[in-house]
């Protein structure tokens, strides 16, 4: 009976061109809208700069050239990051928790000192460690800020490294060729290894025999030193990595990407609307047309009818969900690598939503009322599932948790989220199957009781 009714419903749907067009066009519209949103540049996040350097201790002088660590904040700000100055790390953490800012960069008070030590030790002692703070209570937070700060930091670090190399190679050039450098405000003339080699060689030619050997050795050393210092530019460039960065997440990470979460929500919403309205409409429509009484004659098949309706609506919704995901993948908002997981995820999600829709159809009996109820209920069902229970607290949080567990949106969203990330989520899949069984069983009972 289920197979015959399923084939009939799919045939009827196929012959409803307006409905079919809606089912195809709707997910594609969502895919285009969401795809464009996810692939466009985001709004610049707000990032705090916590500069703990002493007021006059933020500079490092190498060979008379000044490098400013505090200038890092200028490098980080601008373009894709909005920056503001915050006095302490604790204040920055509090602001991230409150959602006032999206992240922070902490420059420790010993940053200049550590950079100086690192440079004077030739890289033996470690450079300063900067800290990036970001909010990560869910996949909507964190990822973007982290990557933006990291990329800006890399730019700043490259600029600092280039400056260090430039200063150091200039100093080495003076050592090789001769010139002047400023030390403690005094201009000092440096002979240079090249001139020293010539002087020593001349001296060696006219020197007494007992001193000639020593002077020739000194000239040879000067020559060797000059030739080998030619290589030091490359060595300096390759080892220059003056900064170390530590990341600290404020809040608990979920481990899913921002786009994965958004794609999961969009797919769940699409499945929910199509499956619930179809499920509700198919069953209530059957009653309205009078055909339900024919099917139920003799008290047969109420549960089979409810199941067939859920299967028909669920499969059509799954098709719609697959179209949405394919559209998003085509636009580059998600990866095709999750393709093998899409089908079970959209099928299970679609079936559970369809079961819920069929239940609405059994309760409300009138096709238009049932369809309208499915649309009106979709918004609160999604909202309930998307509110983090900890953000409410108390008994309301428990109630919200229970309601969310009974309704299919949360597990469907989690399953789709996992599918997009190419992960299986057996728990959510099982929960959706249990919900489908529960909804169709109750719908079957209501249909049987209401046959009179």
Interaction site with other proteins (CB under 8 A): 1, 4-5, 8, 11-12, 15-16, 289-291, 293-299, 301, 451-452
d(CA 6, CA 12): 10
Phi-psi region of 134 (alpha: psi -120 to 50; beta: other; left: phi over 0): beta
Q: Which is nearer to other proteins, 313 or 328 (CB)?
A: 313
Listed in sequence order, the residues at least 6 apart from 208 whose beta carbon sits closer than 8 Å to its beta carbon are none
d(CA 401, CA 413): 15
* Least gap, CB of 13 to other proteins (angstroms): 9
* Least gap, CB of 366 to other proteins (angstroms): 16
* Least gap, CB of 287 to other proteins (angstroms): 10
* Least gap, CB of 289 to other proteins (angstroms): 6
* Least gap, CB of 11 to other proteins (angstroms): 7
For residue 117 the two structure tokens come to: 């030590």
Closest CA to 263 of 376, 427, 426, 421: 421
Q: What share of the chain is helix, strand, coil (3-state, %, to 5)?
A: 70, 10, 20
Q: Which is nearer to other proteins, 40 or 294 (CB)?
A: 294
Q: Which is nearer to other proteins, 5 or 415 (CB)?
A: 5
Cα–Cα separations (whole angstroms), residue 416 to 191, 258, 322, 329, 410? 72, 14, 11, 14, 10
Q: Which is nearer to other proteins, 12 or 37 (CB)?
A: 12
* Least gap, CB of 33 to other proteins (angstroms): 32
Q: Which is nearer to other proteins, 120 or 291 (CB)?
A: 291
d(CA 402, CA 272): 19
Q: Which is nearer to other proteins, 15 or 40 (CB)?
A: 15
* Least gap, CB of 367 to other proteins (angstroms): 13
Cα–Cα separations (whole angstroms), residue 241 to 119, 148, 156, 173, 413? 10, 19, 11, 21, 43
d(CA 101, CA 267): 30
**How many CB atoms sit inside 10 A of residue 150's CB?**
13
Q: Which is nearer to other proteins, 11 or 126 (CB)?
A: 11
d(CA 380, CA 127): 53
């Amino acid at each position: 009976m289920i197979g015959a009714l399923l084939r009939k419903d799919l045939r009827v749907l196929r012959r409803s061109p307006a409905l079919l067009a809606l089912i195809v066009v709707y997910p594609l519209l969502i895919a285009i809208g969401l795809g464009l949103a996810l692939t466009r540049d985001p709004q610049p996040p707000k990032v705090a700069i916590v500069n703990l350097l002493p007021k006059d201790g933020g500079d490092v002088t190498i060979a008379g050239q000044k490098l400013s660590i505090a200038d890092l904040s200028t490098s980080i700000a601008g373009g894709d990051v909005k920056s503001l100055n915050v006095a302490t790390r604790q204040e920055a953490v509090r602001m991230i928790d409150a959602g006032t800012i999206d992240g922070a960069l902490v420059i420790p008070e010993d940053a200049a000192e550590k950079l100086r030590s690192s440079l004077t030790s030739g890289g033996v002692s470690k450079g300063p460690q900067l800290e990036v703070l970001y909010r990560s209570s869910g996949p909507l937070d964190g990822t973007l800020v982290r990557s933006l700060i990291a990329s800006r930091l890399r730019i700043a670090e490259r600029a600092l490294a280039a400056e260090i190399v430039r200063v150091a190679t200039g100093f080495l050039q003076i050592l090789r060729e001769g010139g002047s450098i400023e030390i403690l405000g005094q201009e000092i003339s440096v002979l240079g290894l090249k001139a020293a080699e010539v002087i020593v060689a001349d001296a060696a030619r006219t020197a007494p025999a007992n001193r000639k050997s020593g002077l020739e050795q000194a000239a040879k050393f000067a020559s060797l030193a000059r030739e080998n210092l030619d290589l030091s530019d490359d060595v300096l460039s390759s080892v220059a990595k003056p900064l170390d960065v530590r990341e600290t997440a404020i809040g608990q990470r979920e481990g899913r990407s921002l786009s994965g979460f958004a794609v999961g929500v969009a797919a769940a919403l699409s499945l929910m609307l199509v499956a619930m309205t179809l499920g509700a409409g198919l069953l209530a429509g059957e009653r309205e047309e009078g055909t339900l009484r024919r099917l139920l004659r003799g008290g047969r098949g109420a549960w089979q009818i409810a199941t067939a309706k859920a299967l028909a609506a669920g499969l059509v919704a799954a098709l719609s969900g697959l179209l949405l995901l394919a559209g998003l993948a085509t636009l580059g908002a998600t990866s095709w690598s999750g393709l093998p997981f899409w089908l079970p995820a959209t099928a299970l999600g679609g079936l559970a939503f369809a079961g819920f829709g069929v239940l609405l159809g059994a309760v409300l009996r009138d096709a238009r009322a049932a369809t309208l109820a499915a649309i009106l209920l979709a918004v609160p069902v999604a909202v309930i599932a998307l509110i983090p229970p900890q953000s409410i607290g108390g008994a309301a949080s428990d109630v919200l948790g229970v309601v969310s567990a009974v309704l299919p949106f949360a597990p469907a969203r989690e399953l789709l989220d996992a599918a997009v990330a190419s992960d299986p989520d057996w728990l959510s899949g099982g929960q959706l199957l249990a919900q489908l069984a529960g909804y169709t069983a109750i719908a079957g009972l209501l249909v049987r009781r209401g046959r009179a």
